[in-house]
């Protein structure tokens, strides 16, 4: 049952008279008793042009689903056709494994993990020097699994299964021309980088940092490092020197690959100088333009000087548990966790790209990200192992130029964080462009707004948004969507393949809204940390599962919705995600402690009432006798965060308070402050 559309309301929403008549004509062609999902699917695919003002789209959506019973499931905004389901990678795996349906495959993937992952390894075409004796060895328990036991491999070998002439990378700098690098060229140049590392005395197991924007050279360096058996140290280029120095120290990086400068949104920012200030002992500097703009130290080299002139290199055969990448993820203390990825973690990336995002050979995959965050390495492996093309834009993803790059590069899979969509909606950057090649959007990093994501879907005639939530220590997602299920904005439709989870209340009982605990093992789940006790972080004092199984802590709150859907509810501990980046309260509090007139602080993240990305709120206790101005204090804290931590973290509000609430053991009660702020009242800024 759907509500009738009103002509005047459509005009007020922004539809022209001709557009109004077309919508009404298409709407009236459906029988009065037609199911809402059929009406919406028909209108979305042919009757609602991306050129229509979004209020018109929303008006039609609300009318179609006016009588929808959300006690059954959230309102969908996309439904797959039978042809799309049959052509999906999920159904291809069903046919390969003899599973009759998506739901059967999902259940089998969690119940028979060794068999499932064996089938995934075969489907992805993972290449071995020596094949595994067994897919999964649990002799040391699910907390310490051995994947692909007895095998030797280098996961980079599996990144070059595409035809050599196929584009591996399409790239474009702000104001520049698009460039294409073939799979053959990527293999050849990464071989030259690998040879250069060996010439420089690097040996298997050495750590080499890459601190650059997500560029073609960054991908070359990443693959070249892994080819040698060394470990990539992933550090975001937006970090301040102090934070870079911390990560270099923890990882023991012997060499840093960086750029001379970074050009973003028309601004030129120093990069090489920050790496020098961080204490890097040796640097390879890539010019952002045609030539270096800085003078290098005698111990450093330019990109062109460093590359060897030998195009052939045999990637080092490794144990599946050897480290390929060291990434960092914040905990509830000031020092970030150092999380190693092994040669098996990329299989998780590629599997999620194949099954949840339906990446196919020849697809073009674009995801504005950075090697410092897990989606950077994820993008490399999910694209190349699935024989697709990576699309990289060197600049601001909220710009019109980026949106044109998406159009002109023929992007098929477009990933993003919700704050990008919110910026597009405010500026209209994508309007009038042809995004018809896009078959899937994806979103990760922070909670999204349903209204923003209905807008996003409208830009490409309502292609689905695959909400994707996981973590660096998972190597991908634990809850996601698929293209064989209806997509509802800002919801997840299934646990990820190959794992399972439970949602528990504080007493350890199954509930619909509570803390999420993973059921190990799964490919991608970390089994060690380089600078912390892995068991203490993820397993100590976790409740048993409903069946007595071992559970693993993750720290997210999740709400189970009707119809098998889920919604992310934020963090249960004192970490937060700001701009898609996970950071601890302790890290924020440490840097705002530099501000004059403040004796102590507490940082919290607040979900906006209307939904969308978390906002940073800082409670501050003034020094005795000090009477700071809230606005000036917020500006000073913002400057300190930008200088000492990350300029992408924005202070939304500062609250002055006489004393912070504390437990009997003197720990700050961040949750009490969140509850107090969310209650509204005088503390919210007008």
Convert the pLDDT of each residue in 390-400 to its tens digit: 999 999 999 99
Pick the range with the lowest mean pLDDT from 248-252, 373-377, 606-610, 657-661: 606-610
Q: Supply 577's token pair.
A: 């995600």
Q: Supply 43's token pair.
A: 């209108």
d(CA 571, CA 558): 9
Confidence of residue 686 (pLDDT cuts 50, 70, 90): very low
Mean pLDDT of the chain: 93
pLDDT at 645: 85
pLDDT at 585: 80
Give the predicted TM-score (pTM) of the model.
0.88
pLDDT at 332: 44
Statement: residue 513 has pLDDT above 80: yes
Query: Which DSSP category does 381 fall into?
Result: H
Pick the range with the lowest mean pLDDT from 145-149, 289-293, 643-647: 643-647
Q: Where are the alpha helices (DSSP H) in 409-519?
A: 418-427, 450-458
pLDDT at 624: 85
pLDDT at 680: 72
Instruction: Over range 90-105, report the average pLDDT.
Output: 98
Residue that wins the pLDDT comparison between 327 and 263: 327
pLDDT at 55: 95
d(CA 315, CA 312): 10
Pick the range with the lowest mean pLDDT from 171-180, 216-225, 500-509, 657-666: 657-666
Instruction: Over range 601-622, report the average pLDDT.
Output: 86
Strand 146-149 relative to strand 179-182, pairing: unpaired
d(CA 209, CA 203): 14
Confidence of residue 467 (pLDDT cuts 50, 70, 90): very high
Statement: residue 663 has pLDDT above 90: no
Please give the backbone phi and psi of residue 354, each rounded to the nearest 5 degrees, phi first: -75, -50
Q: Is 605 exposed, middle or buried (0-12, 13-18, 19+ CB in 10 A)?
A: buried
Count other C-beta atoms under 10 Å from residue 131's C-beta: 13
pLDDT at 542: 96
Instruction: Over range 32-52, report the average pLDDT.
Output: 91
Pick the range with the lowest mean pLDDT from 393-407, 515-529, 668-682: 668-682
Quick check: 464 and 483 in contact, CB under 8 A? Answer: yes
Confidence of residue 681 (pLDDT cuts 50, 70, 90): very low
Statement: residue 580 has pLDDT above 80: no
Confidence of residue 295 (pLDDT cuts 50, 70, 90): very high
Quick check: 386 and 364 in contact, CB under 8 A? Answer: no
């Amino acid at each position: 049952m759907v509500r009738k559309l009103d002509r005047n309301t459509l005009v007020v929403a922004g539809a022209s008279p001709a557009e109004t008549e077309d919508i009404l004509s298409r709407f009236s062609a459906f029988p009065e008793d037609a199911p809402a999902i059929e009406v919406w699917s028909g209108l979305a695919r042919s009757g609602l042009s991306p050129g229509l003002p979004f209020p018109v789209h929303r008006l039609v959506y609300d009318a179609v689903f006016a009588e929808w019973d959300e006690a059954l499931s959230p309102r969908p905004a996309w439904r797959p056709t039978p042809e799309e389901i049959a052509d999906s990678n999920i159904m291809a795996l069903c046919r390969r494994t003899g599973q009759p349906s998506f739901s059967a495959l999902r259940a089998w993937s969690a119940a028979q993990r060794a068999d499932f992952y064996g089938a995934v390894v075969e489907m992805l075409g993972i290449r071995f020097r020596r094949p595994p004796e067994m897919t999964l060895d649990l002799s040391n328990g699910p907390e310490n699994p051995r994947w692909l036991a007895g095998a030797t491999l280098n996961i980079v070998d599996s990144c070059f299964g595409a035809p050599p002439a196929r584009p591996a990378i399409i790239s474009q700098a702000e104001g520049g021309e698009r460039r294409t690098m073939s799979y053959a060229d990527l293999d050849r140049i990464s071989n030259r980088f690998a040879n250069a590392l060996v010439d420089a005395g690097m040996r298997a197991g050495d750590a080499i940092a890459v601190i650059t924007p997500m560029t073609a050279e960054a991908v070359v360096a990443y693959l070249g490092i892994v080819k040698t058996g060394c470990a990539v140290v992933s550090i975001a280029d937006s970090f301040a020197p102090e934070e870079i120095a911390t990560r270099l120290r923890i990882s023991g990086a012997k060499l840093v690959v960086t750029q001379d400068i970074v050009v973003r949104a028309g601004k030129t920012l120093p990069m090489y100088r920050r790496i020098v200030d961080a204490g890097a002992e040796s640097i390879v500097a890539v010019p952002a333009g045609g030539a270096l703009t800085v003078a290098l130290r005698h111990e450093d080299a330019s990109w062109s000087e460093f590359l060897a002139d030998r195009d052939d290199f045999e990637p080092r055969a490794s144990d599946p548990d050897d480290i390929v990448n060291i990434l960092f993820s914040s905990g509830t203390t000031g020092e970030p966790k150092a999380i190693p990825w092994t040669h098996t973690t990329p299989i998780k990336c590629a599997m999620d790209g194949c099954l949840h995002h339906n990446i196919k050979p020849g697809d073009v995959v674009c995801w504005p990200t950075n090697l410092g965050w897990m989606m950077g390495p994820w993008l490399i492996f999910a694209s190349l192992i699935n024989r697709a093309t990576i699309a990289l834009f060197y600049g601001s993803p909220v710009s019109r130029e980026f949106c044109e790059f998406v159009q002109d590069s023929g992007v098929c899979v477009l990933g993003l964080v919700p704050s990008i969509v919110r910026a597009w909606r405010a500026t209209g950057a994508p309007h009038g462009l042809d995004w018809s090649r896009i078959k899937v959007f994806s979103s990760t990093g922070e909670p999204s707004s349903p209204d923003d994501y209905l807008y996003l879907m409208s830009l490409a005639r309502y292609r689905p948004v695959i909400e994707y939530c996981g973590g660096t220590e998972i190597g991908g997602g634990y809850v996601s969507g698929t293209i064989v299920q209806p997509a509802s904005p800002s919801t997840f439709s299934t646990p990820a393949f190959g794992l399972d989870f439970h949602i528990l209340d504080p007493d350890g009982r199954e509930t619909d809204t509570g803390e999420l605990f993973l059921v190990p093992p799964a490919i991608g789940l970390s089994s060690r940390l380089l600078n912390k006790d892995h068991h203490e972080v993820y397993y100590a004092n976790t409740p048993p599962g409903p069946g007595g199984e071992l559970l693993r802590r993750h720290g997210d709150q999740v709400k189970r919705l009707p119809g098998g859907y889920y919604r992310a509810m934020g963090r249960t501990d004192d970490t937060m995600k700001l701009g898609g980046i996970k950071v601890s309260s302790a890290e924020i509090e440490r840097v705002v402690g530099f501000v004059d007139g403040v004796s102590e602080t507490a940082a919290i993240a607040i979900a906006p009432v209307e939904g969308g990305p978390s906002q940073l709120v800082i409670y501050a206790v003034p020094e005795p006798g000090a009477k700071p101005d809230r606005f000036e204090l917020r500006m000073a804290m913002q400057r300190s965060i930008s200088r000492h931590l990350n300029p992408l973290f924005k202070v939304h509000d500062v609250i002055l308070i006489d004393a912070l609430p504390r437990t009997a053991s003197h720990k700050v009660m961040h949750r009490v402050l969140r509850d107090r702020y969310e209650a509204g009242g005088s503390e919210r800024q007008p």
